[in-house]
Amino acid sequence: MADKVTTYQCPACTGPLHFDGKTGILKCDYCGSTYTVEEVEKLFAAKNEAAAAAFTDGAGKDTGPEAGGSQPAAGSASGKNDQSAAAGSSAADSQSAAASSDPAASGWGNDAAKMRAYNCTSCGAELICDETTAATRCPYCGNNTIIPGQFAGTQKPDYVIPFQYEKKDAVNALKSYYKGKTLLPGAFRNENHLDEIKGVYVPFWLYSGHVDAAGRYDAKQDEVFRQGEYEVTRSKHYEVDREGTISFTRVPVDASTKMPDDLMDSIEPFDYRAITDFSLAYMPGYLANKYDVSSKECGKRAYERSRTTAEESLRGTVTGYTSVSTRDHREKVVNEKTEYAVFPVWLLSTSWQGQNFLFAMNGQTGRMTGNLPVSKAKQALWFFVVFVLCLLLFGSFLLSGENTTTVSYLIALVFALIPAAIVNAVLVGQMKPVAQEKRAAAYVTDGGIHLKVQNDRYIRTTESRVKLQNRQAPGGGKNPGGPPHGPGRPGRH
Ligand SMILES: [Zn+2]
Ligand SMILES: [Zn+2]
């Protein structure tokens, strides 16, 4: 009989309550009353407990009433198991059919089976949401509703980072995000329109642990000197061993299939100084999802990121050499602790010329990211302009000598193409910043890697010599006697 949903309404006027990120307190949309997180926790504790209990009662036995939703939870106390075993199967069928008719019409299609329906405790309307939804808003009465059961028992997150930026901040941030993006199509700024903006508490797994790493490297120390008409390179070869341990704290991996991994990686890092014990009181006014990817599955990404950073850090301790190459390395990643947290993210979906663009803003730090369309015309123009300018610059320099050859033309061409390609890559990179994070350097603790083995063994010395005149740059010798031949390289035997 009990509700699975808690509606966060103002105790003074029953208006919708929402968590205000700027002030860190809960505000009523109607009368302006404010409540601290602690006050709200107390006010809604009993309701949340009852809702969580109703939720766990309903879940697990049969998905019929959950998926159907319209069927009241009546008669759930006894005989339910028998029902779901026998007559329940046909009931469940009709239930799921009834449930899918609605969502399918709104384009959810096969996902209909993953939808859940609840009743708003304020207006009684049916709330249909995805099976991982833990906080939403009633579309009919505007009240902020929480499904405490999604965050109860073993599903309860350990931590939350509350929102600090509001919806209007996200909208403004998106506008300024377009600034300085040279290759953005001119019309995009004006014609691209915001379809949806939502503040979501995204589930994350946080992995803490350490990596034991060992590596063997071939290192070389070169000394270059002149001996008569020879340039001698004397190389001292070393065999270097390193072993060490590096610790990581709370490497985050988003645990929702709905969130693109690369987008979530690109708004890192969250500032863990503001992390606080989880409470439902931070949820009203936002959407919240519980995890639907296991900590084991997500752990693979944290593992790989930590491993890569350990490998690079260990190699980074081999210093003082001219060159270092890795002969062998191995890492053992030890996960000591896995925590569950929800972090604040603003998601902004926009469309332009039939294409959809998704942007994300870190709801705590304000960091905004998202891929933008590239104007082919602007891209071509920039490439051309840089190319021509460099061609003129290098060309006038290279071709000023008295004997210009095809080779000098080619050199000028190449020297102009390189900067044009670099400028192009930088400008395009600016438009496509969304990428999966491969490293965990931001989460290294205890001041980096701690070495247990640090062994540099001298092996041998080798020498190579090159006759100096062969290595002289054309015209670079500035021999006072010789006529300046300029780029006379082809003439040499
Ligand atoms: Zn109020
Ligand atoms: Zn309602």
Do 237 and 364 fall into the same domain? yes
Residue 487 has pLDDT above 90, yes or no: no
**What is the pLDDT averaged over residues 146-162?**
93
Q: Which ligand is nearest to the CA of 11?
A: 1
Do 182 and 50 fall into the same domain? no
**Is 358 inside any structural domain?**
yes
Strands 323-352 and 159-160: parallel
% of the chain beyond a pLDDT of 70? 82
More confident call, 81 vs 466: 466
The tokens for 422 are 């670099």
**Is 224 inside any structural domain?**
yes
3-state class of 413 per DSSP?
Answer: helix
pLDDT of 396 reads: 79
Q: Which ligand is nearest to the CA of 145?
A: 2
Do 152 and 178 fall into the same domain? no
Residue 491 has pLDDT above 60, yes or no: no
**What is the pLDDT averaged over residues 468-478?**
50
pTM of the model: 0.81
**What is the pLDDT averaged over residues 414-418?**
89
Do 82 and 215 fall into the same domain? no
DSSP state of 414: H
Q: How far apart are CA 3 and CA 117, in angstroms?
A: 12
pLDDT of 176 reads: 94
pLDDT of 452 reads: 97
**Is 34 inside any structural domain?**
yes
Residue 158 has pLDDT above 70, yes or no: yes
Quote the Cα angle for 473-476-480, to 5°. 135
pLDDT of 402 reads: 64
Residue 109 has pLDDT above 90, yes or no: no
DSSP bridge partners of 352: 355
Do 405 and 336 fall into the same domain? no
Do 295 and 385 fall into the same domain? no
Residue identified by tokens 């008719």 is 101
CA of 9 to the centre of ligand 1 (A): 8
CA of 134 to the centre of ligand 2 (A): 16
192, amino acid identity: N
pLDDT per position as a tens digit, 284-322: 999 999 999 999 999 999 999 999 999 999 999 999 999
DSSP bridge partners of 16: 9
Do 129 and 227 fall into the same domain? no
Do 349 and 384 fall into the same domain? no
pLDDT per position as a tens digit, 45-87: 999 999 999 988 765 443 433 333 333 333 333 333 333 333 3
pLDDT of 2 reads: 67
Q: Which of 350, 369, 388 is the last residue of a domain?
A: 369
Do 142 and 182 fall into the same domain? no
Which ranges of 290-339 would DSSP assign to H, the alpha helix? 295-315
More confident call, 409 vs 230: 230
Q: Which ligand is nearest to the CA of 10?
A: 1
- Which H or E run includes 461? strand 444-467
Q: Which ligand is nearest to the CA of 27?
A: 1
Do 273 and 252 fall into the same domain? yes
More confident call, 263 vs 489: 263
Residue 134 has pLDDT above 80, yes or no: yes
Number of domains within the chain:
3
pLDDT of 154 reads: 84
CA of 33 to the centre of ligand 1 (A): 5
CA of 171 to the centre of ligand 1 (A): 27
CA of 27 to the centre of ligand 1 (A): 8
More confident call, 403 vs 56: 56
Residue 117 has pLDDT above 80, yes or no: yes
CA of 17 to the centre of ligand 1 (A): 7
- What value does the mean pLDDT of the chain take? 85
Do 70 and 198 fall into the same domain? no
Residue identified by tokens 């609840």 is 118
The tokens for 358 are 């998704």
Listed in sequence order, the residues at least 6 apart from 3 whose beta carbon sits closer than 8 Å to its beta carbon are: 47, 50, 51, 54, 118, 119, 121
87, amino acid identity: A
Do 235 and 319 fall into the same domain? yes
Q: Which ligand is nearest to the CA of 140?
A: 2
Residue 157 has pLDDT above 70, yes or no: yes
pLDDT of 17 reads: 95
Q: Which of 124, 156, 188 is the last residue of a domain?
A: 156
- Contact, 145 vs 118, CB < 8 A? yes
CA of 127 to the centre of ligand 2 (A): 8
**Is 272 inside any structural domain?**
yes
- Of 152-156, 166-170, 208-212, 321-325, minimum mean pLDDT range: 152-156
Q: Which domain holds residue 397?
A: 378-431
Q: Which ligand is nearest to the CA of 9?
A: 1
CA of 287 to the centre of ligand 1 (A): 21
**Is 33 inside any structural domain?**
yes
438, amino acid identity: K
**Is 137 inside any structural domain?**
yes
Residue 401 has pLDDT above 90, yes or no: no
CA of 118 to the centre of ligand 2 (A): 10
Residue 100 has pLDDT above 80, yes or no: no
Nearest to 158 by CA among 301, 39, 295: 295
The tokens for 36 are 């601290």
